[in-house]
Structure 1
């Protein structure tokens, strides 16, 4: 039997019934995953498309109509257990995937891709090289141009595997309940402010946000503002400090347990998003 080459991976797997993409990204990374996922579904319209991602990534992936099932793997050491990890691996192997695709090439995702037991496994050579790489994954796509945006790097990887690409699509379907929730809590045409970032070095000071909103209200006294923060105490404290410094009813604080679907619903009702976090910015642009 002739070995499968990179350029013929699609040709050799076009009859695949189940495909899994392994990518443990967060908000922004997962949004970049949507266009290549749509391309995979277009090439395999009869196959089930699964994605293995982080809990946050799964919240994004579930908004993609092309995905049939999102599997969540907890990345927090304090929360994950050997029993839970083993149960996940057994469940994945029971699916009997025909094809597994790994876009990141990181060590953890490479091991998880191998453990899916997929018949054909292909990965992006973007991570560290190990002598055992080809023992667990036979097909490696050369590293893509790092000057391209992430989604185009992923699509380029698919092209190397024999996919005939169409213009990228970023299709998201918002949950009806999340949209209804946003309609009850966010005035139409509001300004959304996210005062925090996972990297504190990217953040403005609390005083800067207070000053910004005061100046905006001088120009637009009727402008409603909604503000969000994560559930970490440091982030909630910064948000409370902004609210305390303004003491203004035109500022509404959103719940700390806001889901990604609810955040998407919020952003669709807002005229502008302001904040240092790239993940929320990616979501705002996508919508």
Structure 2
């Protein structure tokens, strides 16, 4: 039986279509590197959510990057007519879509590409889904990290397993211009204390105690929104030790990546910055809600330590002793 890869290995134009946010895009990079290496002569494009297009400035081996607006709200279905026309004008031979959402599946169908690979969605809600693809692949959800799931999709589709997946990011020197004056050459731990919602965060008093365990310079950063900036201001007023530097929503994605790349380790909740740290091969200490899907996002490996807690009201509930003892063991491991 001819595999999908055998059909497309000499394709001239390939598009990987994934409309996920920062974490989704970072965890897609190893699969993208496999596709690039398996089809080295193809014109290789990727479509991601508009807010994270800048991240793929760090992957010069991708020829073209396109954005799709999903935040704070995606377009109406009829507003995609122009995008469909643009896709058709590109005359892609191949579209690979491991996302499975209704919108991305329809864009795949109407692209006009000859070969269209799709992953079977977690819940097969739409009757039309199967007709959007010429080839499909089924890999279980909620069983392993999302990056490994995507690699499994490629391997089951015939992509060579001997191709080594990697993030293959290249940091431009100008990404450090805003950071180096504040941190200099001092070794530090980067702390990203907040996430997109309270239930994924530690209570402020617990975070203060945790940072009090640090006998090492640390740098704080947060997202450029009022919610996180307000929380960061309150946190700073309560800290027992002051940080080496603070970036209160002043960094874009590329600059945040540059900051993490200079750090010795990364401390955070379940957020996009965690995936950037994993991408950069930095040791991480992270706290998570215990859910059925957490295995898809929690990093694995000897250099990554995760602490799991229950839903609180409204914050994450993790016993303080458990949190601090695990954190101290992590600090010992990276010294």
TM range (shorter): 0.7 to 0.9
Matched, 1:119 2:114: yes
Does the CA-based 8 Å contact 1:126-1:143 persist in structure 2? no
Relative contact order, higher structure (CA 8 A, sep 6+): 1
Matched, 1:168 2:165: yes
- For 2:182, the equivalent position in structure 1 comes to 185
Distance 1:78 1:202, change over 3 A: closer
Matched, 1:200 2:195: no
Matched, 1:58 2:45: no
Does the CA-based 8 Å contact 1:194-1:276 persist in structure 2? yes
Please give the per-residue CA displacement for 1:8-46, whole angstroms capped at 9, x wherever unaligned.
Answer: 222222221110111112222211111111111111111
Where do 1:230-269 residues align within 5 Å? 230-246=223-239, 250-269=243-262
Aligned partner of residue 181 in structure 1, secondary structure: coil
The partner residue of 1:285 within 253, 266, 278 is: 278
Does the CA-based 8 Å contact 1:146-1:153 persist in structure 2? no
The aligned length equals: 277
CA-based RMSD of the aligned residues comes to 2.4
Please give the per-residue CA displacement for 1:136-186, whole angstroms capped at 9, x wherever unaligned.
Answer: 222111234642322222122112222112232221111221133332333
- For 2:65, the equivalent position in structure 1 comes to 70
d(CA) in 2 for partners of 1:215 and 1:160?
46
In the superposition, the TM-score normalised over structure 2's length comes to 0.75
Shift of 1:100: 0.2
d(CA) in 2 for partners of 1:76 and 1:33?
19
Unpaired runs of at least 5, structure 1: none
Aligned partner of residue 162 in structure 1, secondary structure: coil
Unpaired runs of at least 5, structure 2: 281-335
Q: Which moved more, 1:82-91 or 1:227-236?
A: 82-91
Q: Which moved more, 1:156-165 or 1:31-40?
A: 156-165
Distance 1:149 1:125, change over 3 A: same
Does the CA-based 8 Å contact 2:188-2:264 persist in structure 1? yes
d(CA) in 2 for partners of 1:198 and 1:10?
38
Does the CA-based 8 Å contact 2:183-2:244 persist in structure 1? no
d(CA) in 2 for partners of 1:202 and 1:81?
30
Shift of 1:111: 1.4
Does the CA-based 8 Å contact 1:41-1:66 persist in structure 2? yes
Distance 1:153 1:207, change over 3 A: same
Distance 1:115 1:258, change over 3 A: farther
Does the CA-based 8 Å contact 1:231-1:257 persist in structure 2? yes
Aligned partner of residue 35 in structure 1, secondary structure: helix
d(CA) in 1 for partners of 2:72 and 2:279?
31
Distance 1:114 1:212, change over 3 A: same
Distance 1:122 1:83, change over 3 A: closer
- For 2:145, the equivalent position in structure 1 comes to 149
The partner residue of 2:211 within 190, 213, 219 is: 213
d(CA) in 2 for partners of 1:78 and 1:279?
19
